[in-house]
Amino acid sequence: MTKSRATHKGHCQVCNNIQKLPGGLLAAHGYTVMQRGWGGWFSGTCHGSHNLPFERDRALVDLSILKAHEEISSIGVRMESEKATPADPKKAWRNHSVKNGPYGYRIWVQVELVATHEQHPGSHPKYMHGGEWHPIRNTFHSLEDCAEQGKQMYLQNLNQRRAELRHFIERQQDRLKTWRPDAPLIPVAA
């Protein structure tokens, strides 16, 4: 298979970054190159990769707005459910760090709480995740306080995500105001 050289660049419909257009479609972008042993691989790509640029199509912009609205709605349902449920003193929401080779990411998980300070005065409560115990560094008067704070932090994170999605929708809608299917592409410098 012969690779076609990009002669032009265009804007990604999803992330709005400028990318080369080999074969008229956006090059793969938005990835991390992971290394292990003798080889490497891409971890994740932007959903706009291998699609038409914004200068030629807007279908992914429309779809990304729709998906963002759906996620906002889903977050609202989760928030209402979480607010309506009293905090369980045996469980708490934690923003847990997950290792992925030399990289890592953070996820929200609901974890089992254990009071260790009863056996060891001055020690912190712990939680179990991935078969390992992790200390909770904050000072709490009770497991109920720990569970309630975890719940409030989780709700705050969901609310922040909802605000980010609203901002994303506004930016995408602003882009659509000036969209033309025949907008000029950007020539690649020789």
pLDDT of residue 145: 80
Per-residue confidence (pLDDT) for residue 137, from 0 to 100: 61
- The residue among 32, 8, 3, 30 whose CA lies nearest residue 20 is 8
pTM: 0.78
pLDDT at 129: 56
| Domain range list for the chain | 1-56, 71-169
pLDDT tens-digit map of 141-161: 677 887 888 899 999 999 999
CB neighbourhood size of 96 (10 A): 15
Residues of the chain with pLDDT under 50: 1, 119-120
Cβ atoms of 181 and 57 closer than 8 Å? yes
